[in-house]
Amino acid sequence: MTDDAGRVALVSGGSRGIGRAAVLRLAADGYDVGFCYRSNEDAARELEKTAGELGVRVRAVRADVSDAGSVRGLLAEINGELGPPDTVVTAAGITKDNPLLMMRDEEWNDVIDVNLTGVYNVCRAAVFEMMKRRRGTIVNISSVAGVYGNPTQTNYSASKAGIIGFSRALAKEVGRYGIRVNVVAPGFIDTDMTSVLSAKVKDNAIASIPLGRLGTADEVADLVGYLASDRAAYITGAVFQIDGGITI
């Protein structure tokens, strides 16, 4: 356990991928962890059990991050059972790729609603309690697509770029209250989101990565854990790319 043991963390999109790895990392560091999931209850309950075996309290709550009322209910439940979060990690995200001329309105709206408005809803619901206690850390998960853009991902890239602007602005707003806000921007990470890519697409991606492989969710979670901890006490408003060098 670290010096952060005994604190409470909230992870959105915690039942799979990077969010799941973040739940386990924070639990291993001694945080009590609440996380939300949208639909896969079996995966959420399995993670609740696995993380709880690390000796902390863990609570899974079904919530839709794109709906402000659902998020307020999530925070009320976590606050009541675990206490107000000291750390928030926003990992909920979806992709609906298409060239712009073929993109349907719902593909644009759904991705923006979950990826960007979801971050707004979660941070807005959590930050007031942090301000009252004059401490807290927020780690928002963006993507290298939000830094450099990806073809056929105008919706996803816009949502992830929006997270970066949102986080930098929020860091300036709440720094005087002892709250830090940072961004992690992963590249190609081996998760269920990338598992749907064809072998050809994966091979082309790996060929463009100087380290010659996909990253792992655990590697991203280790960075999240560091930024959430007191070891990163003088870091705020920063964007950390974890991409194997693909953007060099």
Structure confidence by residue, pLDDT tens digits, 13-40: 999 999 999 999 999 999 999 999 999 9
The predicted structure's pLDDT at residue 2 = 54
Decide: residue 236, CB within 10 A, 0-12 exposed, 13-18 middle, 19+ buried.
buried
Where do the structural domains in the chain lie, given as residue ranges? Answer: 8-239
The pLDDT, as a whole number, for residue 179 is 98
Residue 200: pLDDT band with limits 50, 70, 90: confident
Higher pLDDT, 108 or 193: 108
Q: Which fold would CATH assign to domain 8-239? A: Rossmann fold (3.40.50)
Query: What CA–CA distance (Å, rounded) separates 193 from 196?
Result: 6
Cβ(176)–Cβ(201) below 8 Å? no
Task: Note the residue count of the chain.
Answer: 248
Q: Which residue has tokens 């050809």?
A: 200
pLDDT band at 3 (very low <50, low <70, confident <90, very high): low
pLDDT band at 188 (very low <50, low <70, confident <90, very high): very high
pTM of the predicted structure, to 2 decimals: 0.95
Cα torsion at 233, 11, 28, 7 (round to 10°)? 60
Among 123, 222, 136, which Cα is nearest to 177's? 136
Strands 215-216 and 136-141 come out as: unpaired
Which amino acids are annotated catalytic?
156
pLDDT at 202: 85
